[in-house]
Structure 1
Amino acid sequence: MTWTAYWFMFPTALGVATLATASGIEGATFFSPIFILALGLDPRIAIGTALMTEVFGFASGVSAYGRRRLIDYRLARQLLTFTVPLALVGAYLAGHISPDILKVLFGAGLLMLGIVFLRAPAPNEVAALDRAIAADSPPTRAATCLVTAAGEEIRYTPCNRTEGSLLCGLGGLTMGLLGSGQGEINGYFLLRRCRVPAKVAVATSAFIVATTALTASLGHLIHFALTGGSVLAQVMSLVIYTVPGVIIGGQLGPALAARLDTHKTEKLLAIIFLAIGIFTLWTTLSAGRNLL
């Protein structure tokens, strides 16, 4: 394996990261199918490499949210106590189960992801949720008050913290095992169940996803290092092109987001994920190898 074998992944990563940042979807959700189906990589290598790539793509977005002071760090810390250890468990499991079983789980995960995006709330629904949260959290009763860099005060009272810890912990497990799922579970819980205003929910979710992805990717990297040889070389020959691509794409994404209808984009991506999930399951199950 030469270091120039995957040169084409630089423009691919740039395009994927731009779309992922603009749509708010985890980068690994895009990269894992590319690595598995287009490059024919072992799913364990594909998922671990996708997570490593995603960390760099999310870093710039998280720093931007941090500068705008939109992250609820107290709530994030509580949820991370569950997501981080379970992400390591998922990474460990990914390195010790059959590649074909992992592909089946990955295909099923894409189907579930597609269904989640099909049911994503429209902008007017999100606005209605924000108004309801504001009405339920007057200044005298709100448990949390964030003051943004622009001077805006956002007041709310997080609900269902125990439920959220369990749900987000499940998201951490799926992220370590399959490379995705954390962001989607966060989005559902923080906005709908925890009743966190949308802009804070998005920023806090990005921080949780980035931290969990970093942990999961370290778990995969340790496994690759222990495996050594051609596996580690293959991973490094990919990330030297994907990482610069996602760093640049992460900066271009916000400009594209202003021109995209996010709700329609989610519906289109839902159809794509459903199609890829069905194809992955069909090709793996029809082969019927190493599933027991």
Structure 2
Amino acid sequence: MPEAVVDLEIQLLLEALYQRYHYDFRHYARASIKRRLVQARDQLGYATISAMQDRVLHDASMLPRLLDYLTVQVSEMFRDPTYFRALREKVLPHLKTYPSLKVWIAGSSTGEEVYSLAILFKEEGLYDRTLFYATDINPEALAAAEAGVYALDRIRKFTENHQKSGGRSSLSDYYTAAYGRAVFDKSLRERVVFSDHSLVTDAVFAEMHLISCRNVMIYFDRPLQDRAIGLFRDSLARKGFLGLGSKESLRFSAHAGGFSDFVPGEKIYQRREP
């Protein structure tokens, strides 16, 4: 099939998803979306993307399967340990001056970063005065995050990352292992609100002291990246902090002037006052 036809099919499918289910992927980076939709078409057994569109429009049970392809759930606990070390050593000393805190993990996927931050805040004595908001557009990913169950063969890497991040305890203090799975303690979820939120269409919902949104905006086109960064700026408390992924930057954003570099090497920024 000509590539131009495939591109048109993709455009129509993305518009259909928005009109039918209000999931807006129209401003995601098109090359990435195309790769994922072609993979979904082939693995789910459809001859064309149009046939897949017909199915998802008329069968809502197909939507979660398609969302699993369109949303990326690849993470690990304490991923990029130097980022968490920078939070521990540079950011949290500032946050300790507040009587209460709000932290937003945007694009929380299946929860690895949520539990990483909960453990970090516990180790630094801040957990009990912090409310965490874990948001994603994929309801199945949110359900997995809330369950806090991970394959046991992933724990070695999680543990290694935790140690490299400057962990003050043993990661094994926070989970129970059985039947090839690690179940993280429910105490780590007592201060977490798991909620659906879209950086594409939704608005500010609270004033945050720290926003961690890593490896999400690399899938957005430039206008959508600008929208998300503007949303983060408007969501941050005075002198609040924003953490991005290692391949992400504010450099080309129209909102770059609203932030100052705080830990440049780890893509941690601080809201700049007007």
Both proteins in one fold, TM over 0.5: no
- Give the TM-score of the pair, scaled to structure 2: 0.21
